[in-house]
Structure 1
């Protein structure tokens, strides 16, 4: 009898726990879906000075942020001519940008409650854009994403970009192909298999890992051009998580080859004073190192690339073995040129190990890495003292539907 009473009591407790599962539910129509966030520094200092005058003893941070939050207006997503089942969105806007300023990003997010009828909901956040000014400031980048990493409602799969100029201008573009600028930016970022000048996506989870590791890293660069964006190039960060500069588009392409991150794209080669264009179908890299002299380590990066000839302005027979070898050599030389330009930038000029040689040492020569890790980019700066050589090989797997290019009269 006692066992039955005990079992019944446990069953009642279990049912009570199940009943309380929806205590914090929020109806979907009451949520304000945030799809994009842009982080800048405010241009005017009057607001901060006025705030200090109103409450001179309140705690303030070293930086003050200007946050642009993009929320979805569901009624604006309804196609023209269709009923939205309720009030009409006369402006036909599918989003609303709310701009707020404060010392704390979390404070700014909560301040939106004083201006929006819907509770901001960050689980559908697609993109987070941070201005180069914030990224270059001391602890600015880490502080800008801290709350997003801590908030359980945020998505760690949200893409992160560094804006050349103001981040606000990027999220305010008005693309004609999409109703939501943030979804447009997110879609453009998916085209990395079409252009090797785009750095592969960096998501919030990746950024968190980079901040915790003692390595340099790169994040895709984004710029606003009229009513569209361009994702090409890269922002480079040192081991202190400060942005030290940008890589151009060709330098980013070279970086992708050096790190084995090329997923597709185009390589142009010059043959007989005209162009032949190859579509990249695959690429990989390998590293060999001579580590006998710690003060002067030598690294040889070998790049192998496969592709198909997609365009040729040069009259040549692509079934001829000598022609193919000449073409493969020309493409390999172009890959080596771009890679060497990148090495010159990140090895001597900056210098930051975004080529990931430190990671190679940590994974493949761990005992040596434990001895030199604090002298790699800092201290004795062994990274800068090392030699880096690059060699490329190209294999043409397809020449297209024709083997010869017509030679026009007078060409």
Structure 2
């Protein structure tokens, strides 16, 4: 009998317990949140703001001053968009950009609460944009809250712009409603072109900073209604040291094995007026260090499967000629090899930092040597000889007659 009563009591507790657990302790209605889609960080200009300016905030501590801008969607305007109409309204933008001048983002974040009745909420953050001036300082301190706060997503994309970061968020896109979403979506086109970076979210950035390794972040520029994502910024010791153009960015991705797609354009000997476009379908990159005494070299083997995308020569007579296709593969291999070697030499001479993940390959294949050189790896990297071997296989010729 007592056993039955105990069973009933346990069953009753199990039934009652969910009534106390349902719901959420920090519950807030969806329409009461200020969903932050983008953040821009600019180095503050030497302009004195008075307390009548909403961007002004009295500072308690000394330090570098930045302009922090957040982008909040104006949901009511987006919902009122006429059927079939894309982009922002001609009368009013569908976003609200708020700027606060402060020494840290956390204090700026709390200061936003003095200007909006919707508390900022960052779980839907799409993009963080830093200006070149801000990125030349230690970006670790600027991104500390984003890496520390549990509300932030590790897949948020990070970008660098040579102009003002705030201007990127001011873009009124022709298709999307918000510049932040537009910017984050561009990275999905990495399978179309290797001239833009795509593995540049907060999670990857955090790994690089904690490993104290060099890294790259995508370069973006903006006009009134358009954003371009191509090229990249080079970072060493968490500070921006310069830029890589679009072509060097492409071959940086080939070297590191992160190219998902893209094209290579070349000319056959004696036919410089007829460019041929090859499309990358599959890429396999293998980095293998070779240690001989105090000497370190790196064998870089690249295998690429490509298609013929376009031929400018009218009446292309060699379309099904195996000998010509083989010659085309050799020309492509030579071009890619020269571009890769040029990219490596440029980074060595100009920046002297390893953005190709050679250090990671050393740690994997030569752990004992890596322990000896890891503390001054950038110096060692500049003297590493890289042996480049490229193999190109052209499989598809397209629909031809």
Aligned residue in 1 for 2:257: 260
Q: Distance in 2 between matches of 1:165 and 1:293?
A: 47
Q: Distance in 2 between matches of 1:387 and 1:286?
A: 15
Aligned residue in 2 for 1:130: 130
User: 8 Å contact 2:170–2:224 — kept in the other structure?
Assistant: no
- Per mean C-alpha deviation after superposition, the further-off stretch among 221-230 and 346-355 is 221-230
Q: Distance in 2 between matches of 1:327 and 1:313?
A: 14
Per the TM alignment, residue 93 of structure 1 is displaced from its structure 2 partner at its CA by 2.8
User: 8 Å contact 2:289–2:362 — kept in the other structure?
Assistant: no
Written as runs of structure 1 = structure 2, the 5 A alignment for 1:165-180 is 165-180=163-178
Q: Over residues 340-367 of structure 1, what are the superposed CA-to-partner deviations in whole Å (9 max), with x where a residue is unaligned?
A: 2210121222111011111001011112
Residue 120 of structure 2 aligns to a residue whose secondary structure is strand
Per the TM alignment, residue 225 of structure 1 is displaced from its structure 2 partner at its CA by 3.4
Written as runs of structure 1 = structure 2, the 5 A alignment for 1:229-308 is 229-238=227-236, 240-271=237-268, 272-273=271-272, 274-294=274-294, 296-308=295-307
Aligned residue in 2 for 1:41: 43
User: 8 Å contact 1:39–1:168 — kept in the other structure?
Assistant: yes
Per the TM alignment, residue 251 of structure 1 is displaced from its structure 2 partner at its CA by 0.7
Per the TM alignment, residue 101 of structure 1 is displaced from its structure 2 partner at its CA by 0.9
Runs of 5+ unmatched residues, structure 2: 84-88
Residue 368 of structure 1 aligns to a residue whose secondary structure is helix
Length, aligned pairs only:
385
Over the aligned positions, Cα root-mean-square deviation in angstroms equals: 2.6
2:21 pairs with one of 11, 15, 18: 18
Per the TM alignment, residue 266 of structure 1 is displaced from its structure 2 partner at its CA by 1.0
User: 8 Å contact 1:37–1:70 — kept in the other structure?
Assistant: yes
Residue 394 of structure 1 aligns to a residue whose secondary structure is strand
User: 8 Å contact 1:198–1:252 — kept in the other structure?
Assistant: yes
Q: Over residues 221-264 of structure 1, what are the superposed CA-to-partner deviations in whole Å (9 max), with x where a residue is unaligned?
A: 111134211111111111x2111111111110110111111111
Q: Distance in 2 between matches of 1:219 and 1:90?
A: 33
Q: Over residues 106-152 of structure 1, what are the superposed CA-to-partner deviations in whole Å (9 max), with x where a residue is unaligned?
A: 11111111111211111000011111111111x2x111111111111
Runs of 5+ unmatched residues, structure 1: 83-88, 404-411
Q: Distance in 1 between matches of 2:11 and 2:265?
A: 76
User: 8 Å contact 2:255–2:340 — kept in the other structure?
Assistant: yes
Aligned residue in 1 for 2:86: none
Q: Distance in 2 between matches of 1:155 and 1:253?
A: 27
1:155 pairs with one of 147, 153, 156: 153
Q: Distance in 2 between matches of 1:72 and 1:391?
A: 50
User: 8 Å contact 2:176–2:182 — kept in the other structure?
Assistant: yes
Per the TM alignment, residue 218 of structure 1 is displaced from its structure 2 partner at its CA by 1.0
User: 8 Å contact 1:173–1:229 — kept in the other structure?
Assistant: yes
Aligned residue in 1 for 2:64: 63
Runs of 4+ in structure 1 off by over 3 angstroms are 1-17, 47-51, 79-82, 89-92
Aligned residue in 2 for 1:349: 350
Q: Give TM-score, length-normalised by structure 2.
A: 0.89
